[in-house]
Amino acid sequence: MIILLKKEATKKDADVILEKINNEGLKPLYMPGTERIVLGAIGDERVLEKLHLDSYPIVESVTAILTPYKLVSRDMHVQDSVVSVGNSKIGGGNFAVISGPCAIESYDQLLKTAKGIKESGAKILRGGAFKPRTSPYSFQGLGLEGLKILKQVSMEVDIPTVTEVLDISDVNDVEEYADAFQIGARNMQNYRLLQAVGKAGKPVVLKRGLAATVEDLLLAAEYIASEGNVNIILCERGIRTFETATRNTLDLNAIPYLKQHCHLPVIVDPSHGTGIREFVKPMAAASVAAGADGLMIETHYDPTIALSDGKQSLDLDGFDDLMKYINKFVAVVNS
């Protein structure tokens, strides 16, 4: 930790802080410069955080040197982690596509879609029973009934499932009916919910928040991991920027960054990341080329009747075409 003091700081001011660093068992460093005094503290920075050195009026800034996340860090676990969702694997060379409708609308809708995507090579079925919608007047999902449909279709088609959980009170139900939790972008910093799925026994697809840095995403994963559940799949799905031509700005730089700093599998959702049907295929290919371990693609057997996100959903032919295309890129990356 590097502590820059204000211009007017004296040696005496520095000593007060150096002593506090020393008292926590860290090694203090005094670096008087020509213009400012700089202090250092060598050791576990989580200990130092308790001192709240940036609250001191004489301190100009405090800069951390080490990453604030530990369990999900690549430093802790050099090998790629592999996460199993039902009998499907993601990570460590296992590429997997998750697909299905934005919202579960009916047994027929989900069954038709699930059969189609499995045939084209999807490994995991998605579908929302609880839908977070910006407007209270939009369709909010079928709830528990939706979860039951998801389970039934999962068994009939023999494909594992993932579905979003919005609130702690639904964690048990989701765990009963699905093979993995999804934490949506709006809930990435709903820490109680992160802790709840961290205590549960099934894997978690953790979506990046609209305003979350990649470090924020890793800290959110650390919340889950610190409760004991390390079966986490990180999902880049676009961030909010000034650009309005697309629904979000898909930040594919996040893939090499996350792969370098963290051992967890990373997938990309180009459906939300673009918001435009025609852009899903090229951006899915780009995600694979950037090093993604998987994709999440919204598919509906008939997008024109979809109750939500129809504009960005592929139909089954479109999904089949996408799968054939991206498989060529997966082959190149693995070669």
- Shortest spacing between CB 315 and a second copy, in angstroms: 9
Q: Residue from 108, 145, 192, 199 that binds a second copy (CB under 8 A)?
A: 192
Interaction with a second copy in 315-334: which residues (CB under 8 A)? Answer: 328-329, 332-333
Q: Residues 15, 23, 46, 199: which binds a second copy (CB under 8 A)?
A: 46
Q: Which of 55, 79, 201, 334 binds a second copy (CB under 8 A)?
A: 55
Q: Under the criterion CB under 8 A, does residue 23 sit at the interface with a second copy?
A: no
- How many Cα atoms occupy the beta-carbon half-sphere of 80 within 13 Å? 19
311 binds a second copy (CB under 8 A): yes
Among residue numbers 128 through 147, which ones bind a second copy (CB under 8 A)? Answer: 132-138, 140
Q: 173 near 196, Cβ under 8 Å?
A: no
**Any contact of residue 11 with a second copy (CB under 8 A)?**
no
CB atoms within 10 A of CB 56: 18
Under the binding rule (CB under 8 A), the answer on residue 190 touching a second copy is yes
Between residues 121 and 291, which has the closer beta carbon with respect to a second copy?
291
Q: SS3 for 297?
A: strand
Cα(239)–Cα(100) distance, integer angstroms? 22
- Cβ atoms of 68 and 215 within 8 Å: the answer is yes
Judged by CB under 8 A, does residue 54 bind a second copy? yes
Binding track over 86-125 against a second copy, x by CB under 8 A: ----------------------------------------
> Considering only residues 119, 172, 305, 324, which one is a binding residue for a second copy as defined by CB under 8 A?
305
Q: Which residue, 160 or 198, is less far from a second copy as judged by CB?
A: 198
Q: What three-state secondary structure class fits 28? A: strand
| Shortest distance (Å) from residue 130 CB to a second copy | 8
What HEC string does 86-127 produce?
Answer: CCEEEECCECEEEEECCECCCHHHHHHHHHHHHHHCCCEEEC
Q: How many residues does the chain have?
A: 335
Q: How far apart are CA 73 and CA 258, in angstroms?
A: 9
User: Which residues lie across from 218 on neighbouring strands?
Assistant: none
Residue 71's alpha-carbon distances to 215, 221, 262, in angstroms, are 13, 9, 9
Which amino acid is present at 136?
P
Q: Give the x/- contact pattern for a second copy in 257-296, rule: CB under 8 A.
A: x--x------------xx--xxx--xx-xxxxxxx-----
Contacting residue, 214, 232, 314, 323, with a second copy by CB under 8 A? 214
158 contributes a contact to a second copy by CB under 8 A = no
